Structure 1
Amino acid sequence: MEPLKKKRTVLRIGFTKALNSLQVMLDNAESTIASLRVAFCTLEDKLTDLNYCQDSIIEAILETATETELQKEYDEADEYKHRFLTAKYLFTERTMGDSNLVQNLVDCAVPSGSSSNGENKRSYKLPSIEIVKFNGDIREWLSFWSCFKKIHEDKNMCNEDKFQYLKQAVVPDSRAAELVKSYPPTGSNYDKVIRSLKSRFGQDELLIEVYVRELLQLVLQNAIKGRGNISLASLYDRLESHLRALETLGVTTDKCAAMLYPLVESSLPEDLLRAWQRSDAGKHNSDAEDGKPRSKDRLTRLIEFIEREVQSELRISLALQGFNLDTGHESDIKKSKPYKFNRNIPSAMGLLMTKGKDHTCIFCDAKDHESEGCNKAKRMSLSGKQECVKRARACFKCLKIGHGFKTCRVRVKCSRCERRHVNLMCPDEKPREQRDEIASADTSAPVRKELNCIASISNNKMVFLQTLKVKIYSDNRELIARVLIDSGSQRSYVTKDIIEKLGYQSVGEQRLSHMLFGGGQSEVVAHKEYRVRMQSLESDFACNFVALDQEVICGRIEPIENKKWLHELNEFNIRLTDVWDCDDPISILIGADVAGKILTGCRKELKSGLVAFETLLGWTIMGAVRKENVRENSTVAAISLYVKNCDLKDLWSLDVLGIRDPMTYRTFKQQEEVMYREFLETVSINSENRYEVQLPWSENHPPLSDNKSVAIKRLQTTTKKLRIEGRYEAYDAVFKEWLAEGIIERVLDKEMDIWGHYLPHRHVVKERSTTVIRPVFDASAKQPPSPSLNECLQKGPNLIEQLPSILLRFREDLWKSQL
């Protein structure tokens, strides 16, 4: 509100100055009609801007202001209108002899909306037209120049003002802005900068090539990706836009139809192209009555045919949606919109859970469960399941009926092999009966499992935690991960492994101290914040929230896999997502800050003692049950999120401090002497005056692999991240600089077959450093079961052992320093 009032004050001052100037000219008998007309038009423009600002202020205070305040605002506005009308009357009397000017004044409306006798008088105010800003993209030149051309051809405006409008009409820090800034903003340079812009971005030949390449790009998209990535309406709009742009540049259909027709035809999907060839318009190939080709008419008929198809699809869509005849197929494959927790919805609506329609299982014809969760199919072999899918004419990827594998648009991924199919159709999964036989044949051997419980060390009970599987996704990737819901944690966490795979960017940082089990407290640790995006496996709910990064969340947590319990859950129409034997770690912990928003309040208590809780992401199980025929070693694990990578033996080992057995120390000392002697023997200066030294290999180290596949995969992921961050050119410049200085050299084609070890690399960015981006080579990367390069090299002397002697030697002499 305050900025608007300041603006109104400035506009009122400008109006008063213009009014005073007009009155002085009216009092002067020597003033010409032209100067009076300019002064009056200036006053009229000032009043127009003042009325627009005044209307904005009234709209802003309309709901909160009292009647007295509104009356005051209207009175002040009427005062300025009255002063304007008085000046207009005096100006009309002075210029009564000029009939044309009087007629213009009659036709000109008072900016405040006062009425006039003209029948074609416009009594409303149109919004101001904003100049299209040009960013240097050649494809945006036509739209920019069509808007700025009016300013360019205005003869009443000086070149200095045109230059200022041109500076405002370009996007800052763009190529066009750099070109405009290279000329001093003077009137003589305006024509020069316009010529430079036209020669750089407005050449007709260059623009024609750009739009022809756009048509070629549509052809390539249709040939590579097919119809699945673009709708028919979007395709028609893009074709129409490119053809009209070419027509504006002089490439009309009557001159270049023979060239444009194959491009347009090849950009169409196969089914539409077949319909075009079967239509009456497509059957008239090219022969007219005189035998000459009619490519122009054929291109026009093709565009009209596409337009009719777009209109037909729109009418069909309206007919189906108008009477609720939609089959729901499109809605099944659409991605659900992200759920926002901060939406203000009624409390009754918050308890509503939308249930999808029932689906018939293609394996057992039941309607109470999906095909993916069929227990009968889990006991079948892979060939038997494939036969059932083929008989039902369903998709081998998602098990839905109505489409095939090649045209399937459902985003699914197997959690075992990470290929594009549901877990049930994984070739690596064995039937349930075979797994039971293997388990029964091995009952004589004791079964040992490591369980993570919360508060039970009983040998005859198994405690289940609230775990489930969800889809975690980013802009370019999607993963299936296990989630643990823990209301005892105040914050939510996500593992760094998931962050790296999905390429999440940090949105903040927090420093926290974790309260541990038993009353302990960890040190203050810095955690980065990331916005996690997840959705249920059925894609019927999606949400996003902020979580803190953590290396490891907790140990292994067993999923539920008892047939009896799962059968009891099926009776309640409850399907769990985290079932059967799963070795995947917990990747996300949903704490109390988010858990309360996804719990629906629905619960079912089973006969076995377990309790099922419903969440917006799926059902979870919690509770304790008695174990049957399984001997297990259970431990108590507190989910405190305080993880430190160290071996347990280091807690009582003095080797870390350099206190060792004399015989062991003598052995290490000898190894260091041998390593130092080998270093002196192998170090040398080459022809380029650079030091060369052999790597300190360990004795009897395992064979080292070439590590080429790991390096190639790392290069692909690094390149992708660099392009997203916009640092690809800077990273490439570092390698070019190293190549010029002789630090690295290019591998010749004839040396590609020679064995070598490839080191993966990635980029490290430090904004405050002199070298903002630099490569870091990872010698610890390996391709299992082969070791890494660091595992095959000597570790070198332990510098920690030298700390006691350094600390004791510090008191031998006097030291002086200045801070």
Structure 2
Amino acid sequence: MEETLKALVHQRGAVRGKLTRVKNALVHCDAVPNPNIRNVHFLKLYAKTVENCYSEYNAFQNLIHALPLSNERRCEKEERYVEFEALYNELTIQLSTLLEELIPKPEMLPPDPPAGGNTIAPVAPVLVPQHFITPLAVPLPTFDGTYEAWYSFKSMFQNVMARYATETPAIKLYQLRSALVGKAAGVIDQDIINNGDYEAAWAILTDRFEDKRLIIDKHIEAIFSLPKLAKDNSIELRKLVDACVKNVQALENLELEVDGLGEQMLINQLASKMDRDTRKVWETRQDPGELPSYMDTIEFLKQRCRIMEKVETNSAKVEIPKPVRPVNKSKTLVTTNELQCTMCNNTHELYKCDEFEKKNISEKYNLLRRSGSCFNYLGKGHRTTDCASSSTCRKCNKRHHTLLHPVETKAEQVVNPTPTTKSAGESDSRSESTTDNVTSVETKHKNQNVVLCVSSDLQNKQTLLTIAVVLVYDYGSNLHPCRTLIDSCSQNHFVAERFAMQLALKKYRVDYQVSGLNGGITRIHNVVRATVKSRVTSFSTELELLIAPKITTDMPARSFDVTNWSLPTHVELADPNFNKRGRIDMLLGAEIFWDLIKTERIILSENLPSLRSTELGWVIGGVISEHTPVIARTFCSVVERDDFRDLLKRFWEIEGAQDLHQDSTTTTDECIQHFQNTFQRMPDGRFLVRLPFNERKSELGESLQMATRRFLTLERRLDQRPELKAEYATFIHDYE
């Protein structure tokens, strides 16, 4: 309660202080005359202030009465209220008296005596007002803070105030503050208002809004932003002409004449904004070999406006009302809603159709596309992006119907609106040979079957896939060796996420779905463009690589000995360590596969793989001898787990590895150098650094005079209130 009482008393004291300042402003004596007491506007302003103070003081006093105070303290607060009322009454009477003296009363003149001296009934007196002109009766312009309107406002306001040279600076300042609206309201601070410094207020406004360069830029920007006319329309053409003329005249007032190159650029801008018919007429009036002039172009557009206005007025159609025959109308309130299935034409919804449910995913999507139906609601009349239904798939919560959810257990391609590509795992020749012996190791995650690997239990032979080691350029044009799988059954090229991070190349956002063996689906969200170079030949190409979490498992399945193989010595292998198990970081697809393969081929023996010449070197592929021990036969299949991919994505975003290769800028180096040259360590542990300035410091302008003037104004104010001066000094010392 004490804190509340203290705050209310402090606020009440501030209101009383306002009345005290009004009382001091009305002091007048012969030795020091006060011109303000002979000004009607000054007195009306203070009369309104006194009334507002009375209302505010009563509000605070009522809140104090509501507090549970002792009788002694309550009496003390009431005594202060009585003192305030006495001061209020004194000021109200004084202001009313001064206003009555200044505002003259109308004189009452008796009526003229009747002719012939006849006596008639008395007539009410006639009121004849005196000729009294209220100061500043002319309406003043307003300024909303737009730079383009500053010069016109300044000129009109100063011309009006020049007619009232006898007005005091306080009244002029009051009128100036009232004329500021919008963004300009509040630019003049309260100290200048209290001191009545009219010249300082103009100096602040001039410094803030009289930026000649900025005003010129605004007018030029308005000229280049003129609207283009699509058809003959007098209203739009008039707007175009008025906007152009207004901005050009403003630039001429700023001593920028329309001539030379600027005139031709302005005419070209106007011509580009004309509609087709107006442009034709204007072009026919131009003499070949002579440059058009701005004034002639504006005069042509004004004349065309007048012609179009006359034509539009005369061609206005007058609608003649036709006789209306009475017609007997009847209304029915019966509403029918006939449902028809787009699959079987029966009367039921599509999602209840048994035939539709038996279709595979591809056939369902094709049917919905042909009928123009929504993938989410399965109804006609709108697309999925415009569907107002809040329902989603009950299995994956995505924006499609549950009947359209991909079934991973079926070995078929899932048709989806997003781009789809097949990975190397869908090689027909490889899958057909192991149909009866292939086992799919799966895991359940979020109601989805995700293929982790595909292997065969056959122990009698092993197949080598074609692998090559290529060189890839990174962000800094450095070369990195990369073990690459060459596969003709992949529609796209892929790179492992780990290797893509090592290259530090710029990533681009994409949206792909990659389908693999047994319907396994992987979503690809990023792609990089990298240059791949051969280790052996001069072959080099730029590829677009989809970033996958992992290409495949280490290949081959196990390391084996090739000392007994009769490998040719005159050939250079694309992968010298083809017989050693290692990581695969890239996959090259069918887009480049046939450009790499050459015609030369070397067959080692009946039970060994063969060698094929490529642009990347000689690759080895085929079946290994059945006497070589084999653990598993591996197929390449791009798969993922969404939760693990999201976890890795968040990890790299937090670590910010993509920012490690950003080049330092000149501004960054200058900031670091400035800190090293100017910082100090304070005794309390804080750092002290000098404020930095760049080469644009000169654009701040000369503000010393204004700062000095405001400082002296503050000093005069503090000299009048010693208590406030002491508190201000204490506050400033805390920051020394």
TM-score normalised by length of structure 1: 0.28
Q: Which has the greater radius of gyration?
A: 2
